[in-house]
Amino acid sequence: MAVKGKVVVIAGASSGIGAATAKKLAAHGAKLFVGARREEKLKALVSDIQAAGGEAAYHLVDVTQKDSVQQFVDAAEAHYGQIDVMYNNAGIMPNSPLKDLKVADWEAAFQINVMGVLYGIAAALPIMKKQGFGHFIATDSNAGHVINPNAAIYSGTKFALRAIMDALRQEEGPNMIRSTMVSPGNVNTGLWKSVGDPELQKKARQREESIGLSPDDLANAVLYAIDQPENVGIDEILLRPTVQQN
């Protein structure tokens, strides 16, 4: 498989989609470098991967801090000597109606979901251009395609991310640097905890737990995108629970 031996860096790997993807890719022979803020979760993830015979290391990263992302990516390159895949997965979903004016939540969502990804690109793109190969992956969302009340900010971040990732694909594809978005509908990860509004949080939890895909379903999508021959770019995989309408 093309994924075997690839160095995959994941920002936002301590739980949910990122953790499941790290395990799946390691099981298929990739070398993982995982980061997030919760060290205990990262330690447990790395030891699970190693116990299963895989290769992994971790480094703390806060994607709201440009220098922290740079240090994370530099540490990955120093550890493995190259970076094949930079997967910018960190995200939050602090849904609320605009009238509630939760401006700090708006700022946090753009800082993590958009600037965090841009910092990842800023840190890894020069390395990939020097290498002459690489692959950026980002977790977008069906909310990057459809707009719903109470999700103005979350959708705004994911629409923005789609614009950035598609421009990156057009600019760097000719240089053999691939760009992929994985865009899920509901996934049962606990992302609902980042919804501040209690009523909306309850609804988000109910949706995730009743119909959500498993994080492993997303890991399969990421594996598919990485595992294609280098001349095949998977621009986006949009996947929802079959019963989810939008």
Which of 80, 87, 119, 154 is flagged as catalytic? 154
Find the binder of ligand NDP among 17, 30, 85, 151 (CB under 6 A).
Answer: 17
User: Per CB under 6 A, does 94 bind ligand NDP?
Assistant: no
Quote the CA–CA distance of 7 and 77 in Å, as a whole number.
9
Q: How far is the CB of 194 from ligand NDP (least distance, A)?
A: 6
Restricted to residues 95-154, the positions that interact with ligand NDP (CB under 6 A) are 112, 139, 141
Total binding residues for ligand NDP by CB under 6 A? Answer: 31
Find the binder of ligand NDP among 7, 30, 63, 137 (CB under 6 A).
Answer: 63
User: Per CB under 6 A, does 241 bind ligand NDP?
Assistant: no
Q: How far is the CB of 5 from ligand NDP (least distance, A)?
A: 25
Residue 154 bears catalytic tag: yes
Quote the CA–CA distance of 99 and 102 in Å, as a whole number.
8
User: Per CB under 6 A, does 202 bind ligand NDP?
Assistant: no
Tokens for 31, please give them.
């070398």
Neighbour-count burial for 68-101, b at 16+ CB within 10 Å, e otherwise: bbbbbbebbbeebeebbbbbbbbbbbbbbeeeee
Q: Which is nearer to ligand NDP, 62 or 77 (CB)?
A: 62
Find the binder of ligand NDP among 7, 8, 9, 13 (CB under 6 A).
Answer: 13
Contact 147, 93 (CB under 8 A): no
SS (H, E, C) 144-206: HCCCCCCCHHHHHHHHHHHHHHHHHHHHHHHHCEEEEEEEECCECCCHHHHCCCHHHHHHHHH
> So which residues are the catalytic ones?
154
- Give the footprint of ligand NDP on this chain (CB under 6 A): 12-18, 36-38, 41, 61-64, 89-93, 112, 139, 141, 184, 186-187, 189-191, 208, 212
